[in-house]
């Protein structure tokens, strides 16, 4: 924009048009609305018709008159309430507006006794729903009538717009602070973490963008109090941030990297700009918190104060979530893990370039340090039986997840070079740890990955790296039923995967694994017309005339994972109901016919890591209410009692999305 | 004569004869000089003689940390289009600035406004203490940085209870209260460590 406009030589003549224009002036007599005519004209005897009706009033287009608020746009974030210098705005609760992710069921009221018409509320409105009209006349003899709940009309009348936010008056910072990524050419041949993380200055700059409205909290499955820890970053107080995070999330280092970040989707700044990088800010706190800061966090020993023992099967997000909160409440917790390292899918499913071992270790070490006992290389059902657990413990929590490969039923799929994601990814992690050598992993020069979720991208991008190391060049194709714009995987994966040279064949359904002389040569695809039928069920429809064959010597299948209930003994599996792979239980994960058995994570609800932590927390609270009454020995140390209460208090409710799914 | 010459002309005119603490050339149409309080009147008179005949604005800025007010005079010349800002710092505890009415008579309303908003006294302007826009103001001048608009609101306009028509819970439990309680508790957890 030019600072000074160049004006035409004829500009002065332009003004002549005003020569014959009628000057704008209104008699005071005419200036009243239907709403206030009685007050203004109380003393007049004659009430003429034109005076009874609303008269037009003229005001400049940017007049800061009475507010209007478009309720369809308003998300009740309350930023207007916070900025108001005279505290004229107060949010009132309206449960009649729909409960959606990324919004609160509150709307602003304005007290015009206090309002100074500064328009800061308009300039900071995150959704541009709050505006000012050019309506400026209102009279009443009752002071209470000056408090309004603005809607898109002013007192039921359509009004012209007055002051509206523009680029100059806007107070929100809509652009995210840039995050450094390792360049595709560098990261393709190693498992180095792609996202570099914020420095202190960058994190503080990003934190400064947050308006602290907290609409993100309701969409987070564990309802982390996000504005609190973002504010702590802004105040450069990492320790406070760490404490606030651990109130609701025992796996913050992991979540700071690979969470599905529903919070960012529902961020109020994202309505008109780029969401606050909530996930990366959380990661900043964990990465910059030294170990001794963790030690300070729980100063008192979390000793066994409640005489009850709980076994947790599976050390994934749900299991660790349950174990952590049970431990905080004073229970004795043993976690059984079949693999050599704790963490479940975090440890064996997600590749290291997204989630390095060090950050998993940091989270799990803290959980261990408060006294959670993790027993690795112990598979329940093999090394110890469920019956034994029932005998030895007062309650058992199952968080065994979906770790088995889901098969694809197409011709040719039972070949050894048709590999499941969950068979491949653990090998990749073990290679990265040095447990396996490059020669041990069988990756062909050209591969095809079937699937459109994050796991499919994990497979494709891991295969890219292994090919780079093995052959010095890559050939990875990815095919999914969904089109690129509707992939279940996150946008980052699509962008980063593309940068690393993955070829996409989205919107196609696999029909046959092509073979020649007993070797896989490729995959035959049909165009996918739609994935779901009209009833919303998964029922893909194909166009067999739009066919193509893509070449590849290996096919990887990442179309979802399945549970493994082999460990459940006969006595139990007859009582436990399993519906579409998930165990039937109440909201908190208590299995109805087996009161001592609790479940959580993928085998109860899914679909992501943080929902698993939430299940674990809810189950911990339910286990506590199941066991606490019966426990004989309840030594009450004040500190521990406080922690128990906090853990119960912070138990998350359901997000609107989960509520709708029920 | 082009506009760059105007700025140079002004710079040499002012900087040669006056002790200028700070010169800032904003662009070809705007320039600012910060001078001592005693020199303001002489400088404004000289500028007026040179053609800067219009007083566009007069106001103040509250630099509360430095305990000073900054007076700003803006004058304009219709023949040489440059806005000149003359700035000077005055004491904040006893803010007195001699009126410039002898030079620009129209300043009397601006000075009244500056008195009303900042409490600066302008000897030489007989009306400077007369109210301009704030009716029956009984608090500290509102543009001083230590004025608390919220406290003023609280005192003058007591908080009104909600009209029940606004709140709509349909007999259900309030979610807002629980949420605020939870939020407050978690914020407290962070602060606990800093005791």
Average pLDDT over residues A489-498: 91
Which single residue is written with the structure tokens 């007369």?
A: B130
Tell me which residue in A113, A227, A232 faces B157 most closely, judged by beta carbons: A113
- Name which of A43-47, A334-338, B1-5 the model is least confident about: A43-47
In this prediction, residue A573 has a pLDDT band, given cuts at 50, 70 and 90, of confident
What's residue A592's pLDDT?
A: 86
| Per-residue pLDDT band at A622 (split at 50, 70, 90) | very high
Terminal alpha carbon distance of chain A: 53
Nearest by CB to B186, which of A92, A96, A228? A228
Q: Which residue of A has its CA nearest to B26?
A: A3
CB under 8 A, 24+ apart: contacts of A352-356: A352/A191, A352/A193, A352/A429, A352/A432, A353/A187, A353/A190, A353/A191, A353/A192, A353/A193, A353/A194, A353/A461, A353/A465, A354/A193, A354/A194, A354/A257, A354/A258, A354/A458, A355/A254, A355/A257, A355/A258, A356/A193
Are residues A229 and A244 in contact, defined by beta-carbon separation less than 8 angstroms? yes
The pLDDT value recorded for residue A48 is 55
Q: How far is CA A366 from CA A295, A329, A373, in A?
A: 8, 16, 12
Predicted local distance difference test score (pLDDT) of residue A644:
83
Report the distance separating Cα A593 and Cα A596, nearest Å: 9
Mean of pLDDT values over A631-649 = 76
**Quick one: pLDDT band at residue A178, thresholds 50, 70, 90?**
very high
Task: List, in sequence order, every beta strand (DSSP E) within A414-458.
Answer: 418-420, 447-450
Whole-angstrom distance between the N-terminal and C-terminal Cα of chain B?
67
Q: Is the pLDDT of residue A53 over 80?
A: no
The bridge status of strand A332-336 relative to strand A373-375 is: parallel
**What pLDDT shows up at residue B195?**
42
Residue B194 contacts A, CB cutoff 8 Å: yes
Evaluate if residue A307 carries a pLDDT over 90: no
Minimal C-alpha gap between A544 and chain B (Å): 52
Task: Compute the average pLDDT of residues A150-169.
Answer: 88
With an 8 Å Cβ cutoff, are A93 and B172 in contact? no
> Which of A228, A229, A300, A659 to mutate against chain B (most B CBs within 10 Å)?
A228
Among all residues of chain B, which has the CA nearest to that of A78? Answer: B176
Delimit the domains of chain B by residue range. Answer: 3-192
Cα–Cα distance measured from residue B132 to residue A480, given in angstroms and rounded to the nearest whole number:
72
- Tell me what pLDDT residue A158 has: 83
% of residues, chain A, pLDDT over 70: 93
pLDDT value at residue A454 = 92
pLDDT by residue (tens digit) across A574-605? 889 998 889 999 999 999 889 999 999 999 98
Per-residue pLDDT tens for A521-540?
Answer: 999 999 988 888 888 788 88
pLDDT of residue A439: 87
pLDDT number for residue B176: 84
Q: What is the pLDDT of residue A572?
A: 87
The more confident residue out of A405 and B21 is B21
Q: What is the pLDDT of residue A5?
A: 78
* Cα–Cα distance measured from residue A547 to residue A524, given in angstroms and rounded to the nearest whole number: 7
Which whole number is the average pLDDT over A84-91? 92
pTM of the model: 0.85
Report pLDDT for B5: 86
CATH class of A11-148: alpha beta
Q: In this predicted complex, what is the ipTM?
A: 0.74
pLDDT digits (tens, 9 = 90+) for A242-265: 999 998 999 999 999 999 999 999
Residue with tokens 């973002």: A230
Check A86 against B153: CB less than 8 A apart. Answer: yes
CATH number of B3-192: 3.30.460.80
**Out of B153, B187, B193, closest to residue A228 by CB:** B187
Quote the radius of gyration of chain B (alpha carbons, Å): 25
A7 contacts on B by Cβ (under 8 Å) = none
Q: For chains A and B, what is the number of CB pairs under 8 angstroms?
A: 104
The reply to whether B172 touches chain A by the CB within 8 Å rule is: yes
Residue A56: the pLDDT is: 56
Domain ranges (residues) in chain A: 11-148, 184-296, 299-403+576-661, 407-559
Q: Is 3.30.465.10 the CATH number for A184-296?
A: no
Mean pLDDT, range A120-139, rounded to an integer: 91
Quick one: pLDDT at residue A296? 79
Substitution target in A84, A93, A220, A645 with the highest count of B β-carbons within 10 Å is A93
What is the CATH T-level fold of the domain A407-559, as seen in this structure? Answer: FAD/NAD(P)-binding domain (3.50.50)
A268 to chain B, closest Cα gap in Å: 17
Q: Please name the residues between 139 and 198 in chain A that touch chain B, using a CB distance below 8 Å.
A: 143-144, 147, 149
Query: What CATH architecture is A299-403+576-661?
Result: 3-Layer(bba) Sandwich (3.50)
A407-559 has the same fold as A11-148: no
A93 pLDDT higher than 70: yes
Residues 380-419 of A with CB under 8 A from B: none
Ordered per-residue pLDDT tens for chain B, 195 residues: 555 688 999 999 999 999 999 999 998 899 999 999 999 999 999 999 999 999 999 999 999 999 999 999 999 999 999 999 999 999 999 999 999 999 999 999 999 999 999 999 999 999 999 989 888 899 999 999 999 988 998 888 888 776 677 788 878 888 888 888 888 888 888 777 644
- pLDDT at residue A20 in the model: 83
Q: How distant is the Cα of A298 from the closest Cα of chain B, in angstroms?
A: 10
The tokens for B96 are: 């007195």
Between positions 74 and 113 of A, the ones with CB within 8 A of B are 85-88, 90-96, 104-106, 109, 111, 113
How would residue A292 be classed by pLDDT, with cut points 50, 70 and 90? confident
Q: Which residues contact A183 (CB under 8 A, 6 or more apart)?
A: none
Task: Work out the average pLDDT over A383-408.
Answer: 91
Q: Output the 3-class SS for A207-251.
A: HCCCCCCCCCHHHCCCCCCHHHHHHHHHCCCHHHHHHHHHHHCCC
pLDDT of residue A399: 93
- Chain B: residue nearest A146 by CA? B160
């Amino acid at each position: 924009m030019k600072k000074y406009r160049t004006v035409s030589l004829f500009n002065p003549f332009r003004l002549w048009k005003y020569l014959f224009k009628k000057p704008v002036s209104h008699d005071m007599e005419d200036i009243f609305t239907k709403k206030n005519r009685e007050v203004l004209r109380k003393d007049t005897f004659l009430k003429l018709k034109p005076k009874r009706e609303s008269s037009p009033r003229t005001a400049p287009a940017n007049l800061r008159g009475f507010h209007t608020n478009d309720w369809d746009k308003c998300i009740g974030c309350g930023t207007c309430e916070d900025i108001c210098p005279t505290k004229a705005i107060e949010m009132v609760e309206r449960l009649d507006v729909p409960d959606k992710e990324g919004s609160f069921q509150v709307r602003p009221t304005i007290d015009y006794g206090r309002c100074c018409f500064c328009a800061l509320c308009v300039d900071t409105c995150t959704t541009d729903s709050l505006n000012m009209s050019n309506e400026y006349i209102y009279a009443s003899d009752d002071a209470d009538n000056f408090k309004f709940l603005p809607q898109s009309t002013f007192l039921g009348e359509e009004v012209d717009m007055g002051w509206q936010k523009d680029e100059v008056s806007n107070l929100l910072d809509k652009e995210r602070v840039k995050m450094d990524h390792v360049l595709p050419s560098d990261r393709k041949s190693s498992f180095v973490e792609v996202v570099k993380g914020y420095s202190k200055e960058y994190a503080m700059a990003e934190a400064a963008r947050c308006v602290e409205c907290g609409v993100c909290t309701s969409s987070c499955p564990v309802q982390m109090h996000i504005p609190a820890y973002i504010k702590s970053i802004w105040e450069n107080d990492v320790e406070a941030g760490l404490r606030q995070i651990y109130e609701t999330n025992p796996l913050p280092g992991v979540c700071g990297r690979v969470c599905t970040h529903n919070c960012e989707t529902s961020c109020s700044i994202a309505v008109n700009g780029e969401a606050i990088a909530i996930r990366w800010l959380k990661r900043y706190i964990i990465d910059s918190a030294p170990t001794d800061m963790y030690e300070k966090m729980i100063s008192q020993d979390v000793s066994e104060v409640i005489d009850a023992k709980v076994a947790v099967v599976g050390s994934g997000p749900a299991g660790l979530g349950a174990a952590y909160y049970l431990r905080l409440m004073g229970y004795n917790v043993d976690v059984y893990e079949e693999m050599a390292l704790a963490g479940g899918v975090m440890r064996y499913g997600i590749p290291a370039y997204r989630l390095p071992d060090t950050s998993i270790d940091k989270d799990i070490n803290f959980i261990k340090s408060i006294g959670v006992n993790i027993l690795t290389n112990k598979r329940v059902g093999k090394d110890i039986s469920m019956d034994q657990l029932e005998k030895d413990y007062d309650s058992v929590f199952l968080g065994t997840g979906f770790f088995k490969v889901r098969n694809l039923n197409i011709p040719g799929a039972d070949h050894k070079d048709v590999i499941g994601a969950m068979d491949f990814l653990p090998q990749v992690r073990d290679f990265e740890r040095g447990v396996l050598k490059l020669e041990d992993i069988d990756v062909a020069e050209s591969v095809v990955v079937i699937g459109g979720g994050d796991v499919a991208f994990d497979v494709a991008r891991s295969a890219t790296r292994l090919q780079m190391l093995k052959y010095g060049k890559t050939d990875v194709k990815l095919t999914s039923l969904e089109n690129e714009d509707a992939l279940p995987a996150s946008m980052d994966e699509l962008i980063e995967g593309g940068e690393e040279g993955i070829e996409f064949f989205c919107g196609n359904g696999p029909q046959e694994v092509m073979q020649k002389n007993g070797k896989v040569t490729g995959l035959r695809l049909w165009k996918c017309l739609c994935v779901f039928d009209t009833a919303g069920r998964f029922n893909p429809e194909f166009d067999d005339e739009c066919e193509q064959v893509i070449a590849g010597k290996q096919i990887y299948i990442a179309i979802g994972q399945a549970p493994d209930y082999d460990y459940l003994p006969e006595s139990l599996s007859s009582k436990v109901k399993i519906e579409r792979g998930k165990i039937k239980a109440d909201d908190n994960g208590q299995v109805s016919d087996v009161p001592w058995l609790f479940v959580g994570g993928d085998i109860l609800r899914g679909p992501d890591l943080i929902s698993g932590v939430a299940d674990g927390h809810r189950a911990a609270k339910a286990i506590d209410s199941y066991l606490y009454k019966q426990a004989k020995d309840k030594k009450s140390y004040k500190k521990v009692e406080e922690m128990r209460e906090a853990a119960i208090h912070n138990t998350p409710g359901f997000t609107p999305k989960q509520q709708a799914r029920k | 004569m082009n506009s760059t010459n105007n700025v140079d002309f002004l710079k040499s005119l002012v900087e040669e004869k006056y002790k200028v603490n700070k010169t800032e050339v904003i662009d070809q149409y705007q320039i600012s000089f910060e001078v001592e309080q005693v020199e303001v009147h002489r400088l404004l008179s000289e500028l007026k003689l040179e053609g800067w005949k219009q007083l566009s604005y007069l106001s103040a800025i509250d630099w509360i940390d430095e305990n000073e007010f900054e007076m700003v005079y803006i004058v304009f010349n219709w023949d040489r289009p440059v806005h000149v800002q003359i700035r000077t710092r005055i004491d904040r505890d006893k803010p007195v600035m001699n009126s410039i009415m002898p030079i620009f008579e129209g300043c009397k309303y601006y000075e009244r406004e500056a008195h009303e908003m900042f409490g600066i006294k302008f000897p030489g302007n007989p009306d400077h203490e007369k109210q301009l826009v704030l009716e029956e103001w009984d608090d500290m001048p509102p543009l001083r940085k230590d004025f608390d608009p919220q406290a003023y609101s609280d005192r003058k306009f007591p908080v009104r209870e909600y009209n029940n028509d606004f709140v709509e819970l349909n007999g259900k439990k309030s979610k807002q209260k629980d949420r605020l309680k939870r939020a407050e508790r978690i914020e407290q957890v962070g602060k606990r460590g800093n005791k």
